[in-house]
Structure 1
Amino acid sequence: MKLKYIIVAILLASLGSIIYGFTLMDANPLLGNKYIGFGTVGIFLIAMPLFLIKESKGKKVKDYMLTEENIRKMQAKNEEKPDNQ
């Protein structure tokens, strides 16, 4: 099974848990808060890291870091651009 479908399933289950938790708030606030909490944990501690791992596969972290080399590259690009004045 592809990771994409697992992430979508976790996200939908978490959103469903949050919605169900809000519907339970009138009858049983403690149980409603637990469902909302588990849904939030599912989104932010499970689904989001899995998504970031999936999307960053094969990319070099060094290309996105602000190193001296990358600063020089950015300055060279800015000097090459003509000013639109």
Structure 2
Amino acid sequence: MKKLIIFLFFLLVITLFVGFYFRYYSDDIVLGDRFIGVTILAVIFVLMPLFLYHRWKNRNVHDYMLTKDNINKMREFSEGKKRKKK
């Protein structure tokens, strides 16, 4: 999965540069705009969801939510740090 994301990232960067090349250094402005637009859509709808799934697949979402228990743990942790500084 990680290699796929890296490969897709570099492929999309290359297509973005190709789009800018066609846009500014060629007479075919419409083709450059299409390359840029398809690249942006691929980043938003393909690369970003793959990346987010890869980063969050083995995590527990409840560890990152602000529940009463987690707020109490944060208070105890910060009070413990204050006591150690004194």
Same fold (TM over 0.5): yes
Unaligned 5+ segments in structure 2 are none
Q: Deviations over 1:16-60 (max 9, x none)?
A: 111000000131121111101111122222112111111212110
Residue identity matched to 2:40: T
For this pair of structures, how many residues does the alignment match? 83
Runs (4+) off by over 3 Å: none
Please, what TM-score do these two structures have when normalized by structure 1? 0.84
Identity %: 31
Q: Which residue is 1:34 aligned to?
A: 34
CA distance in 2, matches of 1:13, 1:43: 10
Hey, what does 1:25 align to over in structure 2? 23
In the TM superposition, residue 66 of structure 1 has moved relative to its aligned partner by 1.4
Q: Which segments of 5 or more consecutive residues in structure 1 lack a partner in the other structure?
A: none
The whole-number CA distance in structure 1 between the counterparts of 2:82 and 2:7 is: 49
Higher relative contact order (CA 8 A, sep 6+): 1
Determine whether 1:10 maps to 2:8.
Answer: yes
What CA RMSD, in Å, does the superposition of the two structures yield over aligned residues? 1.6
* 1:60 equivalenced with 2:57 (yes/no): no
